[in-house]
Amino acid sequence: MRETPISRTGRRRTIVLAALAAATLLTSGCAGWVRDNLTQAPTPWRRIQPAALPVTLPDSRDFPVVAARMRDTGTVYKSYVVALGNPTVLPGENRLTVDVQTLPDSLFGALVQPPRVFPVPLYTMETLTETTKREFPEMRIKVADGARRNRYGDYDYVTAQDGENSCVLAWQLITDRKRILPERIEAVRLDYRVCGVGSNIRALLAPFEAMTLTLPETVLEVQDLGGL
């Protein structure tokens, strides 16, 4: 039977109505769990053992691991904070922050991801200025002229100094899923803040450059990353 213009119009209308119905279902009370997932707040922070962290830091006399905590945002993001020792009397916490973004396990999961827990780019000049003023009040602050490199690629950093102490703020976004990240990991964000006595900036950055990712299902061991 040949399709008439009227029948074609009716078929198109049916398709449009079906699509609208599906969209309504996703945002209605019938699918309230989807709407809740879109606006899901992070879980409360909870203490964990250092062995449960997705990163291993080298032993350090000045910056030992003091405590660790984590929280989840949906099933996509896991955030960790590692509190480190602080040999100075400066205010603030020496710490390493790690945010791990996993890939959804289904197409539907990809449509209902919670909001990203970290911005991209990680810092703009405006947010970097605000952060350094808050972290290092009354210190001389300088954005590094060029990036440094650890075993996972380039990272950027800022230094802060006064008459007795030096501080660094370093950050890195790792997205290399071919050589570094496990198959299920979309990205890893690292944010490192440390203050120490003296003026040796390299010593402050040493733990950040020597750390090792210990994510499950790691594709390559660190010693295999010859290109980095």
Percent of all residues in the chain with a pLDDT value above 70, rounded to a whole number:
74
C-beta of residue 68 within 8 angstroms of C-beta of residue 50: yes
Please state the rounded mean pLDDT for residues 2-18. Answer: 48
- Each domain of the chain, given as residue ranges in start order, spans 5-38, 46-224
How far is it, in rounded angstroms, from Cα 188 to Cα 153?
Answer: 12
pLDDT (tens digit, 9 = 90+) per residue, 126-143? Answer: 999 999 999 999 999 999
Q: Is 0.85 surpassed by the pTM of this model?
A: no
Task: With cut-offs at 50, 70 and 90, classify the pLDDT of residue 109.
Answer: low
- pLDDT higher at 215 or 174: 174
pLDDT given for residue 93 in this prediction = 96
C-beta of residue 57 within 8 angstroms of C-beta of residue 95: no
pLDDT over 60 at 227, yes or no = no
pLDDT (tens digit, 9 = 90+) per residue, 81-103? Answer: 999 999 999 999 999 999 999 98
Which residues, listed in sequence order, are joined to residue 95 by a DSSP beta bridge? 83, 193
Token digits for 19?
């699509």
Q: Assign 3-class secondary structure to the chain.
A: CCCCHHHHHHHHHHHHHHHHHHHHHHHCHHHHHHHHHHCCCCCCCEECCHHHCCEECCCCCCCCEEEEEEEEECCCEEEEEEEECCCCCCCCCEEEEEEEEECCCCHHHHHCCCCCCCCCCCCCHHHHHHHHHHHCCCCEEEECCCCEEECCEEEEEEEEECCCEEEEEEEEEECCCCCCCCCCEEEEEEEEEEEEECCCHHHHHHHHHHCEECCCCCCCCHHHCCCC
pLDDT (tens digit, 9 = 90+) per residue, 41-96? Answer: 899 999 999 999 999 999 999 999 999 999 999 888 999 999 999 999 999 999 99
